Structure 1
């Protein structure tokens, strides 16, 4: 593994929950339920002011200013959202008689400006596409400049919106459209990003395995002065997997309320070994597969050229992909049913409309629960996939992991159901998890072009034949063949090695190789790729002690169900491993018993 000698910085996030709360002014403990109530008042003030600010600024002039990137004096807008809002005169409004500290206003403006900046790109794209859109044909004119190029998936979504709007307006569009004409102001979740504030609102201290957050919270739902904002010290445990890590900086968390109470979404920066991509001689290519999340293969650079044994590795999601597909189908069914009831409620009598609205609320609640479950499974799947690929690359001695560029990757040609299922795959989350996990061992993840990776031969660059169907590939000239995902992995790894001196790095994005050079990859009879370790699953006891059945009673057969989680191979956590849980305390210190006794009734 190549090492430049200079360490690199990596940011990561984690969550924890407070188990102790103390009033900083008088030093008396506070119940955690009371803290949840006071945090809820803070989030209500922030979310209400943010929604009002977004609604007031939802006009084309706002996006024109953000696209230009300068203020009224022609100065460049700063990166900090609250500073940019102050220069532009964007201030939130609060209910009459309510006092809110200026540092809370910073949090509101920072979150609102971040949302508007995210949508500025979409506003520019919609304006460009609406100018090229023909309402009569529902088609776009060809772009005239390179700046008008947009991802095909994004273009299709906007064209559908433009077509629906033209149909509603009688087959014509009123000139150049903006994002404010196409959609309403976005709805944001209730949260407080304390990173936009300074020590007057919140500050963080970390000692050993304990994190202490001091934050100013309101003491009433509508505070009228400074005296009704008091500081509270929240003590939370740092998760055990972070103990002993070379963390250089702890960042202020984001406050969030869920069904269990206050949740701290924290971030930290740690030092990791830096790898030199230009000196890499072994690369792992990861190909996204419609059957599973992905597959990998090895390509090695030798003095005689590129070689590979063409023996790849396929990720086993252990049925979670099927579960995600089932949840997606269930969510779509709930959405269709709620939409149908909404159409019926629009023309129904008042008493019937009331019953229909109650059913719609239940369906929306179930659909949201399905979405939350899908998000959890996607995250679990992404990080397990990242861990498996990183271990595979480490065992092979690879310095680079090449993944397909997601902006050039489209799911098409496999039917409506399979295309939709592939498009809903958590590939972007898996890439982020892979980049994070691989950086911990000094392996760099680069993005390479996906075009032709599974259709061209790595040896002669000729089109591959499909003698055994979609999942097989064969080249009659080179005599190589096998799983098409493994062949694509060899191609991706080859492109990473050939373009390692042409890596481009952009702020906030992973390194990318835009060129797709070709060089023959010779098939090596020597085994160059490692043999993946097979997970040793926990044993399931399938026999029960012999019990004499009672006469005349049919005994029940107890068959233990197989575990569906990908974490079956992980050893059970110790009793105090649930960091921040309100049921299991993180440490046996006397403060834990004090926290239990402070629970509000």
Structure 2
């Protein structure tokens, strides 16, 4: 039972960098460049050992064992990757004469088991789809059992792999049986990183002192350490980010060490206490609709003694031009990919001297494409958290305790053209959902996923199809006399589904609480003030005075046209004529009307 004011722990991630390093035994300072070099040696050992282990285990029997979840004695495999690998006897091999501590081996096996367990699900789905795949038509028959169902987007990706596999092989020689993941693709590359969370205090430990984090980790002193003496402890000190200072953090977890262009980067995790939102007592909900034109829009719905009501006035997120920038970077990355692929085909049949030049160009293109991907990742993160903050503030102002978002697993963009479909599919929706859940949990607002089907096409009042009198972005119901922006109406539908299904929430570990069934109840239009007023920019007075400029000889000066009126205050004083260089406070004497009238009579 959740009581009022109760709290619960939740984990979150952040990044930081070390600003000081000392030898833990002698206390002598160590340069950060030397630390980066020693961490690079550690990552090289981990990546080489992980790659060798994955290549050795890239066999169908490996995925059969992982899919069964049992060891040779029939016991259930533990959740910890390094413990499961030790029980199965899957240990990495190191070069002769190189000594590596057993805790580093734990890190290697934990990372390898994470990748193999993810690919085991893909192997199972591919095996089921290959049995229903027709190489002649390239189509997959519908599933006959519920256990063979996979998400539509996931199935399309596997179908493309099966089509490419059938084209590479002889069509007549393709067996009608099962195809495994080891038949279609090679072993994946292992990332150069060290997940210290798989180890214990013998390899690394972390403590918080004031506004700093102190990480003590054992690093090699040479590329190929031959004994324990060539592994020494280094004490690294990093600052806690400013947005985490003052928060109720209960535990700091060991980070993941990676190297980027700036040096050593800590990818840390921590646990804190946050207020718990009670879904069962929610009376006001905010629905978030993902839009193809912008990232999303939000609207509110409230339940009371008279049923559900809404003012049908929502807010649309303004991405400040970041969406346009993302589309440009995506097009640039695709262009670089096409160019590199074309040069690769040319290099395959080119003479040796030309091939060397083409390979150099290909390397430059791949480097540029990687940089574009890094930029897109940073913009997506900024976009997601900015969107999450705006929606959370909107929900707080409305007094909502639950935010409903569309279920991304059932949301597929279609009917907007190939380019727009691709842009919408690669948008930051999933990152925005994670950022929204993180930001809203900090103020005690729960985020749930609701079904997306029909949210933009059905009326919240009568559940009938909506008309589109003004085009795609408008919606109107002639029976209920409600309508407006299409995304705002969809937000009302999503908020309604959250309020009606608040007693039927399904919770799964690692996922948002979900409402699987979309129930209907009429939502009446309310004119009461039960929602926040959308912020609008105020009109600013426009200064129409122009600085006095001495015209240059021989150049025809441009005539300055004043800006349009910005507020009612502009009508108080006489509007200066075009080309007037005086200030607004200067009163110009108007031309008398009598001489003009006399001149008109005389004509």
Question: In 2, distance between residues paired with 1:474 and 1:3?
Answer: 42
Question: In 1, distance between residues paired with 2:358 and 2:551?
Answer: 51
Could you say if the C-alpha distance between residues 544 and 260 of structure 1 is closer, same or farther in structure 2, counting changes exceeding 3 Å?
Answer: farther
Could you say if the C-alpha distance between residues 395 and 76 of structure 1 is closer, same or farther in structure 2, counting changes exceeding 3 Å?
Answer: same
Decide whether the 8 Å contact of 1:413 with 1:419 is kept in 2: yes
User: What are the superposed Cα offsets for residues 359-414 of structure 1, whole Å, 9 maximum, x if unpaired?
Assistant: 10000000000000000000000000000000000000001000000000001011
Question: In 1, distance between residues paired with 2:135 and 2:107?
Answer: 42
| Deviation of the 1:169 alpha carbon | 2.0
Could you say if the C-alpha distance between residues 545 and 130 of structure 1 is closer, same or farther in structure 2, counting changes exceeding 3 Å?
Answer: farther
- Residue matched to 2:416: 414
- Residue matched to 2:357: 355
| Range with bigger deviation, 398-407 or 466-475 | 466-475
Structure 2 residue 237 is matched with structure 1 residue 235: yes
| Deviation of the 1:167 alpha carbon | 2.2
Q: For structure 1, which runs of at least 5 residues remain unmatched after alignment?
A: 554-601
Question: In 2, distance between residues paired with 1:535 and 1:260?
Answer: 40
| Deviation of the 1:151 alpha carbon | 1.1
User: What are the superposed Cα offsets for residues 187-220 of structure 1, whole Å, 9 maximum, x if unpaired?
Assistant: 2321101000000000011111011100000000
Question: In 1, distance between residues paired with 2:335 and 2:55?
Answer: 31
| Deviation of the 1:147 alpha carbon | 1.4
Identify the match of residue 478 of structure 1 among 480, 496, 503: 480
| Range with bigger deviation, 478-487 or 182-191 | 182-191
| Deviation of the 1:171 alpha carbon | 2.7
Q: Report matched runs for 1:49-448 at 5 Å.
A: 49-172=49-172, 173-174=174-175, 175-448=177-450
- Residue matched to 1:523: 525
- Residue matched to 2:493: 491
User: What are the superposed Cα offsets for residues 420-479 of structure 1, whole Å, 9 maximum, x if unpaired?
Assistant: 111011111100000000000000000000011101111001011111111111111111
- The alignment covers a number of residue pairs equal to 553
Question: In 1, distance between residues paired with 2:351 and 2:335?
Answer: 26
Structure 2 residue 12 is matched with structure 1 residue 12: yes
| Range with bigger deviation, 170-179 or 206-215 | 170-179
Question: In 2, distance between residues paired with 1:500 and 1:238?
Answer: 38
- TM, length-normalised to structure 1: 0.89
CA RMSD in angstroms comes to 2.5
Question: In 2, distance between residues paired with 1:434 and 1:58?
Answer: 38
User: What are the superposed Cα offsets for residues 95-119 of structure 1, whole Å, 9 maximum, x if unpaired?
Assistant: 1110000000000000010111111
- Residue matched to 2:601: none
Could you say if the C-alpha distance between residues 146 and 200 of structure 1 is closer, same or farther in structure 2, counting changes exceeding 3 Å?
Answer: same
Question: In 2, distance between residues paired with 1:193 and 1:20?
Answer: 21
- Residue matched to 2:593: none
Rg larger for: 2
- Residue matched to 1:503: 505
Question: In 1, distance between residues paired with 2:548 and 2:74?
Answer: 85
| Deviation of the 1:548 alpha carbon | 10
Question: In 2, distance between residues paired with 1:550 and 1:188?
Answer: 68
- TM, length-normalised to structure 2: 0.88
Question: In 2, distance between residues paired with 1:230 and 1:535?
Answer: 59
Decide whether the 8 Å contact of 1:341 with 1:360 is kept in 2: yes
| Deviation of the 1:180 alpha carbon | 1.2
User: What are the superposed Cα offsets for residues 282-336 of structure 1, whole Å, 9 maximum, x if unpaired?
Assistant: 0000000000000000000011100001001100001110110010001001001
Structure 1 runs, 4 residues or longer, greater than 3 Å off? 2-5, 532-537, 543-553
Q: Report matched runs for 1:519-598 at 5 Å.
A: 519-533=521-535
- Residue matched to 1:467: 469
Decide whether the 8 Å contact of 1:454 with 1:488 is kept in 2: yes
Decide whether the 8 Å contact of 1:3 with 1:273 is kept in 2: no
Instruction: For residue 223 of structure 2, give the secondary structure of its aligned residue in structure 1.
Output: coil
Question: In 1, distance between residues paired with 2:435 and 2:71?
Answer: 37
Instruction: For residue 257 of structure 1, give the secondary structure of its aligned residue in structure 2.
Output: strand
Question: In 2, distance between residues paired with 1:354 and 1:168?
Answer: 28
